[in-house]
Amino acid sequence: MSGLIVTMSRPGASGGEDTPLLGKLQDRSVNDITDSSSPLLNQVSKLGFNSIKYIGSGTTGCITVVKKTKTEKLYVLKNITPLGKYCKTSGKYGEVTAVSLQDYSNLFSKIHGFITCNSLSEKWNFVERLELKNSKDEFIVGILTEHIPGAMDLYDFRKVNRLTTKQVQIIGKQIGSALKVMHEHGFIHRDIKPSNILIYKNEKVKLIDFDASRYLDDGRANTQCGTADYMAPEVISQGSDGYGIKADAWSFGMVLYDMAFNSLPPFVDSVDIYQTMQDTVKFAESGKTIEEEAQLRGDPAFVDLLNKLICHEDNRITVAQALEEPFFKQALEEPASQSSILKFLSRLCCSSC
């Protein structure tokens, strides 16, 4: 399978543990960071930033909390240098897609600057704005974003207790709104899952980790990438027609299912990543609804929404259409009860920067 980039979502499952990027902060020294990321950290220190805490690892490198020497303000620095190859400043692939979308509230935290490197002079720079799109020799190697104290990913957030219908509506609507913006601008995320959704005060949402995202030049993509548990069947099967933004709609539906039932549908194998992928395609081709497959009981509007999202691409609605469904129309604008997030934050704040 060409271009295979697949991960497993549950700790302990085959394929390795998926590390939350901005969830619970791990008590690891920056000295534990892999050698592939150390050149960036060394250069960042020369540019006036000190590494404070290691957060986690993504597909393209490590994520650390850094402090600006002059102001002592904290930021999150993400290395976007996969396998030693620099990322061009075109803004069409990976984390750089966030550059053109950073003004939207439910997309990743405010970008404060970029670490760049010139492939000819090997000079490293910190720039607050990207004015390098016409330079074929300038590459982005790191993105500096705002640090949100006490934030956690959805994976951890839903472990506190089972989410209420109101919470699923409010959090889900924000996730959907972020995806809608990406799709309207021609981008696809391709790795929607709980650990790539950041929750902070008053249950506000940020969509994070754009490693797998890209601009759809012709509306379709072909690379098999993402996380098996949440991956759309057309992404798995890699048909001749490829796939489009509806792949994100499938993943969105899986996240909604996960939030509501604190589990995934029966066709997701708890151990075998390849069995999950086979069964996902088999379910989509069976013509069965997710209601029939999982014998769902609950809010009829929610079950109907899942039926329209977790299905074959030909029958699936888009994320924009999902936001117009009765389930989200019922959602109130104000945040749901803060009790669950406050319980978690009270335990988390002592270990956060």
Contact by Cβ (8 Å): 214, 190: yes
35 belongs to the catalytic site: no
Measured CA to CA, the distance from residue 293 to residue 291 in angstroms comes to: 6
Measured CA to CA, the distance from residue 278 to residue 70 in angstroms comes to: 53
Residue holding tokens 């079950």? 303
Contact by Cβ (8 Å): 273, 281: no
Query: Cα–chain-centroid distance for residue 274?
Result: 22
Quick one: which of 248, 254, 140, 145 has its CA closest to 206?
145
Q: Is the dihedral of CA 165, 167, 170, 175 positive or negative?
A: negative
**Joined tokens for residue 97:** 């897609």
User: Within 10 A of 190 (CB to CB), how many other CB atoms are there?
Assistant: 26
Q: Which residue in 191, 229, 248, 269 is the catalytic one?
A: 191
Measured CA to CA, the distance from residue 225 to residue 228 in angstroms comes to: 8
**Joined tokens for residue 188:** 């696809």
Query: Which residues form the catalytic set?
Result: 191
